[in-house]
Structure 1
């Protein structure tokens, strides 16, 4: 059984096997979690992402999929990049947000990662409502068969921490 834990702080400071990056489809960095991971991890992450773009993802990483790179200068060993969906009032994209978590766990398992840190995917500039994102994230992680022993949700502020804490119990 995978243990779910919570930390308030920066995902870039987590000493885990893998951190999950809420990436944009270009894989070339951006704002929020993506920008922080690229800044703290250094040029090795960007170089690995460019290699992935050149070899497999010329049009970018599709929403809901996941791929791993080195973690560069981060305390983690790997970064698992996943592209979350943009919130839509008119279209239910929940399956794509769930897929981000399932695919990240699949990649983590393939890497042999035992500890994985997730941010609150899609809740920043992609505007996914925090309560719903927490529900989807925790339910998906609990329901996904994995060899990962600990999933750590790393939340940047008090509100996000409290919302995820209410879901974990």
Structure 2
């Protein structure tokens, strides 16, 4: 069993001491973190940050990446394809940085919904560009469903969740 700590803070949320935003600065701006047993595995990059573990104790992760759904219109399709290709039983750790719904697409919402996301089960009209600089984290196991998810609108504080898998 391992401990996973996921953090996501929007541009208006306070930056925790010792952290930098996605631009590498100690000031306003979104930030995120994905730690497995206190080892940073996330990229703290704009958009969706994702870490995939074949089994909880895996180090290094099977896969890790980020997808800029804040500015890149194709990133949502690339991320949807990435999630679709993840093998069953893998642990999927995700953390948002910035306005992840700016460049949203239905295939991505469908993939996240299939993983058990309640937040992305909303309609595209309700989600697309509606939430700027939100905080969102999720842990799921492909084929088994949601383990944990947190969403907070911009300025409502960061999502910080810990889960043992």
Instruction: Report the TM range for the smaller structure's normalisation.
Output: 0.3 to 0.5
**Larger proportion of helix:** 1
Task: Determine which structure has greater relative contact order: mean sequence separation of CA pairs < 8 Å that are 6+ residues apart, divided by chain length.
Answer: 1
**Larger proportion of strand:** 2
TM-score of the two chains, using structure 2 as the length reference: 0.35
TM-score of the two chains, using structure 1 as the length reference: 0.35
